Structure 1
Amino acid sequence: MRFLFVHGTGVRRERHDTLFALVRDRLTARFPDAAVDSCFWGDRFGASLSAGGRSVPGLRPLDAPLDAPLDAAPDAPGAADAETAEWALLLADPLCELRVLAEAGWDTGTGRGDDDDGDGDEFAMPGVQPAGVRVLDLLAGLPSTPADGDELASLLHDTGLAAGFPAALESTARSAEAARAGARAAGEPQARELATALARAVTAAALATAGADADCTGTERDRLCELLTTRLGGDARVPGARAAAVLGRLAMRVTTQPLLNAWRGSLTVGATPALGDILRYQARGADLREFLHTRITAEPGPTVLIGHSLGGIALVDLLALGAARGEPVPGAELLVTVGSQAPFLYELGALTALAPGAKLPYGFPRWLNVFDRQDMLAYLAGPVFPGDPRVTDHEIGSRQPFPACHSAYWKQKSLYERIEQAVAEAEIG
């Protein structure tokens, strides 16, 4: 009897040798008379950036030679990154800018800021309403459905925001944050900033409601804000000082877009082996399957195939394609997939060998599928092949979060116990 270990995505020589040494030692301890081999494919069939990463914006100068080093440090986020980050925060919480004004108020120039009671200007005439209340009245008076021919109506329709605009308008106008900020906006400068913040809140709420169905550019978004701000008595071309400064700093710290922009090159290079191997296999998997077939049939006798992650996908494809042709892979008596995405790809219709709903062909071997429910790359096989006695799922709990759990299987005693049980059930000697 022989075991053949097929590693998963992103694995290269050094990692493979460490991983296989662990698997070999654990299997040899339980099966001292069995041969334990490995099928290392990462260097030969794994993905790489053949053009040196030229497809990645900002990774290297366009005129740099392919052997030039990658940029060591990302550029600092610019104004465009800051603006994108602000709107990412507004889409997540449309009232966040109003909340800043409601809680922090404005510096009135007295050195004291607003008082704790939110009464606004301490020198205001008794009985005179804060200027912000007038802005709130204008907001409450805006029609939820602008008249035909109105630029605002046309813009809402063209951006896909018309349906969500009434609810966005109402939720902003009725919010405690708007009321509080309005009460604290004592003078005209504060009222103009409040108008800008309210317009941005309404626009953000409408965008958040529309989600992926919105067809809105940054220019159209800014024009919506400008139209709304003007109708509230403000000036959208003058950004709000207090709220914008706080929101901008916060957005750059808590949103992911500036970080993604800055580190896109290094993130892409780092993710290429793992993600790239999967994409490459989906496009050119035949070469890897032929390589696996050669390695499996190189030695006579029964073979237990152990595939991790993408290795499991390739083995399922190889075995199913061969069995469907009436040419089962010689010697393949038992398949063990560990942390594999093969069942998920089958459901998606992205598994090369089997269309959704198709049964495993006659001649496909017994299949033990091992998963950890914390592993985001592990899926169940039994439920998608119901009633097939060849397919068995087995759960392992490493008590590790993802992604550590995706590699933690190989130190689990229960994995090898279950493999030993499966070998006995298959009567492989």
Structure 2
Amino acid sequence: MTTRIAIIGGGTGGLCLAQGLRKAGLDIAVYERSRTRTERLQGYRVHINPHGAAALHECLPPGLWQRFLATTGATGGNFTFVTEQLRDLMVIDSELTYSPDPASNHHSVSRISLHQVLSDGLDGILHHGKEFVGYRREGDVVVCEFADGSTVEADLVIGADGANSRIRKQFLPGAARVDTGIIAIAGKYPLDEETRKRLPARLTDGPSMVMPRTGAGLFSAPHELNGASSVNDETAEHDPVLFDNTSSYVMWAFAADNRRYPAGISSLDGEALRKLVLDLIDGWDPAFKELVSGSPAESVSRLPIFTSTPVDPWPTSNVTLLGDAIHSMTPFRGIGANTALRDAQLLCRNLIAARKTGDVRTAVADYEQRMREYGFAAVRDSERSARQFVSENRVGRTMARGMFRFFQAVPPLKRKAFSDHGDS
């Protein structure tokens, strides 16, 4: 008997799963509430770590895997921890994290380009304009209901509908997301022949983590295409600042506890947010002021930081969850998308295997047990990094800066401690 699988949500994890299941010949459909891609996509880069790369390699057809690789940016730069005066604390050489195998390496990719790759070839499978409102069970069948009045029957429903998942709210009403009290302000600095001259190589060659003495932090990372074959579609015409995926840039994000920001920050536009960051980094190296002031106001946005709370095991059924829909995390380790891809890889494997055994319920139970373990470990690690990033503890920050300098002075210890940097 064929298992009808409905995936609710056309984001990174849901589409990766759809590609893997489609490649294996399973009966699937994806339902995405956005009518067009311009309703949801932003132009910032996403870091794909070895977990994410392995998942994409396994789930995508060979042609799409090669297309993904063709659209990624250069990843050759070192990862550097620096002071607010742009003095090195520690440099993680790119050789420590480089793998000659693309399926186990790190990649920088435009979110737009990644979505283009993941949605390619899903005609008749990916349905736009389908806003999920709820589900009901009729025997062993799940009936999904949409805002347009339509319904879809499925034998297995997978909620991949993001951090504000409606499926999670119905399926696991006790599963919560909480405000961390941290606010990030992010933007992107366009790189061209002229603007490159205005920034030091440290900020254009590789990612940097800025650690001032207390209370805040700034992360920057270049997305350097260097001839990559990203191709714009209708998104670029919609908004060339946010939706262009053919130009190089440096993405940056400043973060601090919300008590450091003025009241009413939620009402500030991009220009006001940019000015606010400039005020908050007053006294930092001029390179950081250039990075922020040279970013178009339209690219600057406020990002309140939320995180999931732990969820106790639940009885396995014919509804399950994937990615941010179950283990939403802060962006401070850059592992949210990669954890969703890891979910997609594991669930895809299990469902393909279940086609032979006929035991879909056991396949889902195994997925849920393993996903909870690594997924919520990632949530905890991410939140811990977020707290450290904005810590007001001057003594602790001073000790951390000293620790980085120590590792920098003892290369063997640095290699041992940071050889898997960015993998988890």
TM-score bracket, shorter-length normalisation:
under 0.3
Higher helix share: 1
Higher strand share: 2
